[in-house]
Structure formats: structure tokens, C-alpha cells
Chains A and B, each alone.
Chain A
């Protein structure tokens, strides 16, 4: 890392921070590891309510959210977090086509770009590539 070449503020600019919310602790743990290995900063929550409670504006560049979770599903969590930070980027990671389709169509999230949905299980390289693509893209929503 280039910590010695940059000051703290620049460092904050350079290191993209990602918030992972997934009810599976193992998934949280391993994704955090993968992201950190690839130069991202990552925090994790396996309880969506706790994640929302601790969410502050401008603290993350990207939210990586599971969809099917107890207490609050990924879409609702996204809606709530958008209220806190309207500029944050979003990416869903789900293991099920059913939830993906159901939420997109029935729950009124069909305005969400299909590119924002990633499917579990995903290879590390693929995940990093997609995250970079989303971070580089203009906000679509």
C-alpha cells in the first residue's frame, strides 16, 4: 500500500470503502477478506437492522447487499440507506433467481439496472471486476 506517499485525506479518497450486509457470517467474513486483498476497505454486518443503525452518510462508496435476509430484505435496506446517503452506489448479491425476479418485478424495483445484480456464488476475480465497473460507472439511479 502507498500510505507513506499520501496524506490521510487522500488516502480516504483513494481507498474505496464497501459495506457488506449478508445474513451469512461466513459470506461476510470471506467477502471482506477478498475485497481487502484487492485494495478495498470493507465493513460487514450479518444483521441488516444493525447495519442500518450504524450507517452514516458519506462513509461508504458502495453497498454490497444480500437480498434474502431476516428482519429486513436487501431492497428495503437499500431504500432506507438511500435516505441516509443518496449518493452511495449499490450492488446486490443474491443466490436466487427467484428473489431477484420477484423483488425486481413484484416489489416495484424494476427501475433498478440489471447490471447491479450479481449472482452467488461468484469467483473472486469476477466479483472484483464487477465492483470496479460499478464504482467507475456514472450513478444510474
Chain B
């Protein structure tokens, strides 16, 4: 029995040397068994079948170096030096199958003159032989039968293997080999992969692509994430004919699949850095699995040209990202707010959500954006007191009813554009919506509102900068925003109506009281008169009764007229019939009329002093209305003045003589400070004499003339207190009155 162990180079040698070949053949004939362990390749396949297998049992083992033979009695190891021609062919690292086959055939056919043995180790020492036999048996056990290996090769199957390479040169060789031997190549790489391949392997790619153009293979498809950094390389690769697509959602593993091999690495390949680890597998299970992953990614990726165009247009990312971790959401959230350039919109689902995100720093970041970069911030948040407390320093209190200007927006109390509107806390709304610059949206789903921290409360989040998606959220925001404004307006109007209604009701109640009161003396007096014996009624008694009736009837008349006036004023139908009069004269006449009026029970002790202005002053007024005002002021003055006098004076404003000022000064008890703020309101008077409408009507009349009316308590300096009422009227100058 002879056992041989031989690498591909040495395998052919014994058969090439005629003597050895003959000896082998003869020995075989004598019944000597031969066993060969060698590496069966495509190149030596035919040789193995035709020559070796005729005389020996043969098994295949990969990666054999050197050769030895061992029999029961002998051990021999030889080193072969072949002819120069064949040596070159066989030594070549990247021997092609064809060359290998040719070399083997040549070697087998050529005679011993072409080859010579230059060195050999021989031993017949029993221990050496046993040792070598043992080694051989181990190798034999690990080798596979030649028939199996030959079938694999003939069926085109590579030996299934999965190895992890750690040597850079080996990795590079393996990558290159895979590229060059493939008929179809699919690559899915981290962004840096583009540069790595372009710098190191693109010559190999070019060959494949060249062949692809000639229809010899299916070409190269490549998926990666294209960003500003690799956009340039991506363009170069595209131009060479690689079908390149972009996706944000890459697998963490970079891989390439050819028709027969799968290669993968978990390295980042940043800036095209060469990888140090490569997993290589020819296992069809890997290849199939990653093929399907690749095809799925390919379906969901976009054309690299569109992506490169977007980058050029400044659309940084156009995609939707689902973020399952709230910690990552928080970072992105703050990032978005801090980088806002024009506008930030917030919709909060609950007041607690607002408070959490305020604490987490999103609101302070938005305020900073508004203050420092003039970013417009708008917030929709469900109301509660805690929210208001936090917003109070940011946003000015809104005046409820009545607002001076209808659409006056609430402004921040410093120079920042921050608006807040309160929304109802709707049970269905369970996400915070953030929209920045109308370009990006972040929708953060509320998982547990009872939690106190942002990370604890937020579940899944969705980032999007797809235009349609983001603008939809802007639309939702604007609708809610405007809805609240409308609701506010309706509710303001409703409040005003309610207030108006209450005031109307109160007016009616007081007016009813005032109208009924004077009827009592009239009805009772008439009752007494009609039940009495007329002959028994004295002249004095009768006069007294008539005065009583007249006085109260006049009061009723006055009241009914006042109520009508109020109605006219409030419905803005107070018509003035204006003519030009001399003010001095008109005031004098009014005072005289007042004195003569029989309905007025004035204290005869109190004198009216009238101080006219030295010059004629002309005013264009409704004379009856101005007299009504003077009457009112005089009757008020008389009502409160128990001693002293009343002074009516006329003056011109010192500045430009455009206004005449009429004042009525009394020496009564002065105006009650409680009454003062509402002096000119309806039924403000505490006296319960008069209608309580006089000052309201008087001021309205003066204002309808373009003047103003006010009052003040006199200083105590002149001994008496009392009050002075003033009203002004625009003066008509000579030229104007001529026309």
C-alpha cells in the first residue's frame, strides 16, 4: 500500500516521469493499493480522472501544500522542479482553469527530460513511517471522495463554505475575485461604501460594466444612503453605469451578493476606509436570504438621480422615519426646534404633555428661537392653570370682554412673536404635533400621559419631511388655530350680548321703578280729592294737591322724555338741528328759562351767578339740546347745594381758541368718590331724585356736538367744597359763520 499526499503541482510529477508512472502501473497490477490526497480543481479534473484514478483511490482536500508518500516500509518526500515553461504556468497565483489544465496535460505527455527531481527526503525508519502514516490517515479522514468533488465541479457547484476574513490583502483579493467572476452583482452599503469601492475596486467594476454593456451580464445594482458627503462619488459611479438607488433605511450590515457568493461587513466604511473584517459565504442559504432583502430594499428606494437633485435643491432629507425610542425622539425634537429658521407650530394633546415638554426644554428652545432669530412660534394647548402659569411670562394676558380692537392678536410681552391659543382637550387627540418651517413634522404619540418625563410618556414617533405630509399638518394646525379665533369671536360677541342684555334688563328695572314712584302721589292725591266732600276742601289744600299732581306729572313727563333720549342715543338716532348762536346769549337765556320754570322747586336762597366771556363766541349747536344740558347741570347743582351759590362761567381754551368751555360750579357736598367713576353712566346717581339719566344724556349730547364733558370736586381752598361740571363746544370762527 502506498499513500500519497500531493499538491496540484506535485500531483502530475509521478505520472510525468515515465519510470515512476510505469512503476506505479506495475505495482498496481501486482495488487499494490495506492491512495492519493490532492486538491482537485477544474484544472486537474481531467488529469485526475484519466491518469490518477486508473491506479489509485483519490480524495480531495483544499489548500494542500507540498507532497509526500508513505508505504508500509518507506517514506519519501520530494520537491519537484519542473520545466521553466510549465513552472511559470503553474506557479502563477491566479492560474486560470484552462491554463492549469493545459499545464497538467503537457506535463503528463512530456517525458522525463522536461522534469527532474532535485531534492528528496527518504526514510525507512519504522518510527518515521508510522508517524507519516498516522498523519496521512488523519488527512484522509478529513478529505472527501474524489467522485463527490468531481461531481460538484462538473455540476458547476463551488464548495459551500463560510469564512470570516481578517487580512486586508485577502479581503481585497476576495472582493475583487467576486466582482470579476460574477454575472450579476448587488451591493447594499453604508454611505462610505461608495468611496471605498470607487477608490479600490472600480477597475474591476469597470470590466463588469463593460461586459454588461455588451450584454454579457446583468450589471451592478447598488443601494446606499446618499448625502452631501457622498453625493459626488455617487455621481461618478452613476456615470459609469451602476444602477444606484437611495434609501434612508439601510440594514446595519453592508453586503454584496453575486450569483455565487455573499460578502458582508458590519464596518461603517467612513470616508471610504478599507474594511478589516469580511464575512464571505458561498452558502446558498445566505445568498438567497440577502437576495430577498436586497430586492425589498431596492423596491423601497428612490433613484439616486432624484436624490442628488433634491440635495442640490437644498431638500436635505425627503423621507419618513419611524422612531421607536423616545430618547432619540427627544434629541431630534430639540434639534428641530433649535434649527428652526422661520416658524414653529405646536399642537399639544394634553396640558400635561405641554408641561413635560416645557421641562424637557422644547418650549424654552422655541422661546429662544423667537427671541434671537425672530422665529414665529404658535402654540395650541389645552388650558389648565399650570399651563397658564408657565405661559404667563411668555404671552400677555388677553383681555376678554370687551376687546378694544376686534382682531388685536395676543402679543408676547417682549419682542418675540409667540402666540398661544387654548384648545379643548379632546379625548381622541393623543399625539404632540410639531411642524418646523413648514418643511419637517414630528408627530409624537402619547403612550402614557400619567408619566412625568418626556421619555416615559412618549411612544412611537414619526418624523417626516415629505412635503405633502408636512403641509397636511400645517393645514390641520391652521384650521384649529382659526377655529379657536372664530370661537373666541363668537364667545366674545356672546359675552357682549349677555352683558348688554343684563344692562338692558337693569335699565328696564330701574326705569320701571322710576316711572312707578311719581304715580303714587298722583294716584293717592286724586283718590283723596275724589273721596272728599268738595265743599270741605280748602283753597290752600286744593292748590297743594294740584301742585303735588303737577310736580309728579312733570317728573313723569321728564322721565319718559329722558328714557326716549337714552333710546335715541343708544340706537344712534339722536338728530341735531344745528344753527349758529352766540354762546353768551344762549347760556344766559337758558339760565333765565331755568329760573322761571314752575316745575322746579329750587331753593330761593341759592343765587346763580353768570360770568359771560368778554368776546362774542359763536357755536353751531342744537339750541334745545344745549339748553337741556344746562338745565340738567343747574338742577343737579341746586339739588346738592344747601347754601352758598352757583356760578356759571364761559371761557375759551387758552391754547388756540378752538373750544369754548362752559362750567357750572356749585358749593354742595361734592361728588361721592364711590359714584365718581360711573358718574356719567345711566342711573349712577345715588340721590334718588331726578331720573338718574341727566348726566348720561348730557354728555352724549355734548359728544354728539364734538365736545366733551367732565367733572371734578372743588379744592377745599376756597372754603366750600362742591363740584364743578365742565363741557366744551367747538367754536365757529367769523369766516366760517359767514357762509
Using CB atoms and an 8 Å cutoff, list the residues of chain A in contact with chain B.
Answer: 23-24, 26-27, 29-31, 33-34, 37, 68-70, 94-99, 120-125, 127
Q: Are A26 and B551 in contact (CB under 8 A)?
A: yes
Q: Are B523 and A26 in contact (CB under 8 A)?
A: no
Chain A residues whose CB sits within 8 angstroms of the CB of B551 once the complex forms:
26
Q: Are A31 and B688 in contact (CB under 8 A)?
A: no
Q: Are B688 and A23 in contact (CB under 8 A)?
A: yes
Using CB atoms and an 8 Å cutoff, list the residues of chain B in contact with chain A.
Answer: 506, 509-510, 512-514, 516-525, 527-528, 531-532, 548, 551-552, 686-688
Q: Are A70 and B688 in contact (CB under 8 A)?
A: yes
Residue of B506, B510, B519, B527 touching A34 (CB-CB under 8 A) = B527
A92 to chain B, nearest CB (A): 14
Q: Are B512 and A95 in contact (CB under 8 A)?
A: yes
A25 to chain B, nearest CB (A): 9
With the chains together, A113 CA to B452 CA distance in Å? 59
Closest to A102 in B: B509
Chain B residues whose CB sits within 8 angstroms of the CB of A68 once the complex forms:
513, 688
Known: A30-B525, A30-B548, A34-B524. A95 touches B517 (CB 8 A): yes
Chain A residues whose CB sits within 8 angstroms of the CB of B506 once the complex forms:
98
With the chains together, A26 CA to B518 CA distance in Å? 8
Q: Are B548 and A29 in contact (CB under 8 A)?
A: yes
With the chains together, A97 CA to B510 CA distance in Å? 10
Chain A residues whose CB sits within 8 angstroms of the CB of B532 once the complex forms:
37
With the chains together, A75 CA to B509 CA distance in Å? 19
Q: Are B528 and A120 in contact (CB under 8 A)?
A: no
Interface centre among B521, B528, B687 (most CB of A within 10 A): B521
Chain B residues whose CB sits within 8 angstroms of the CB of A69 once the complex forms:
688
Residue of A33, A34, A99, A123 touching B513 (CB-CB under 8 A) = A99
B503 to chain A, nearest CB (A): 13
Residue of B510, B517, B528, B686 touching A37 (CB-CB under 8 A) = B528
Q: Are A96 and B513 in contact (CB under 8 A)?
A: yes
Residue of A27, A98, A122, A127 touching B509 (CB-CB under 8 A) = A98
With the chains together, A127 CA to B531 CA distance in Å? 15
Q: Are A124 and B548 in contact (CB under 8 A)?
A: no
Q: Are B509 and A124 in contact (CB under 8 A)?
A: no
B330 to chain A, nearest CB (A): 55
Q: Which 7 A-B pairs have the closest CB atoms?
A: A96-B513, A95-B516, A98-B509, A124-B527, A121-B519, A26-B521, A30-B524
With the chains together, A70 CA to B672 CA distance in Å? 12
Q: Are A123 and B523 in contact (CB under 8 A)?
A: yes
Interface centre among A23, A99, A120, A127 (most CB of B within 10 A): A120
Q: Are B688 and A120 in contact (CB under 8 A)?
A: no
Interface centre among B506, B520, B525, B552 (most CB of A within 10 A): B520
Q: Are B552 and A125 in contact (CB under 8 A)?
A: no
Q: Are B520 and A121 in contact (CB under 8 A)?
A: yes
Residue of A97, A98, A120, A124 touching B517 (CB-CB under 8 A) = A120
With the chains together, A120 CA to B513 CA distance in Å? 9
B654 to chain A, nearest CB (A): 39
Q: Are A122 and B548 in contact (CB under 8 A)?
A: no
With the chains together, A2 CA to B528 CA distance in Å? 22
Q: Are B528 and A24 in contact (CB under 8 A)?
A: no
Q: Are B516 and A34 in contact (CB under 8 A)?
A: no
With the chains together, A33 CA to B531 CA distance in Å? 13
Chain A residues whose CB sits within 8 angstroms of the CB of B516 once the complex forms:
95-96, 120-121
Chain A residues whose CB sits within 8 angstroms of the CB of B519 once the complex forms:
120-121
B531 to chain A, nearest CB (A): 7
Q: Are A122 and B688 in contact (CB under 8 A)?
A: no
Chain A residues whose CB sits within 8 angstroms of the CB of B512 once the complex forms:
95-98
Q: Are B528 and A124 in contact (CB under 8 A)?
A: yes
Chain B residues whose CB sits within 8 angstroms of the CB of A97 once the complex forms:
509, 512
Q: Can you name 26 A-B pairs with beta carbons within 8 Å?
A: A26-B520, A26-B551, A29-B521, A30-B521, A31-B520, A31-B524, A33-B528, A34-B528, A37-B528, A70-B687, A95-B512, A95-B513, A95-B516, A96-B510, A96-B512, A96-B513, A96-B516, A97-B509, A98-B506, A98-B510, A98-B512, A98-B513, A99-B513, A121-B519, A121-B524, A124-B528
With the chains together, A27 CA to B548 CA distance in Å? 10
With the chains together, A96 CA to B683 CA distance in Å? 15
Chain A residues whose CB sits within 8 angstroms of the CB of B521 once the complex forms:
24, 26-27, 29-30
Residue of B509, B520, B531 touching A30 (CB-CB under 8 A) = B520
With the chains together, A94 CA to B521 CA distance in Å? 13
B250 to chain A, nearest CB (A): 75
Q: Are B509 and A26 in contact (CB under 8 A)?
A: no
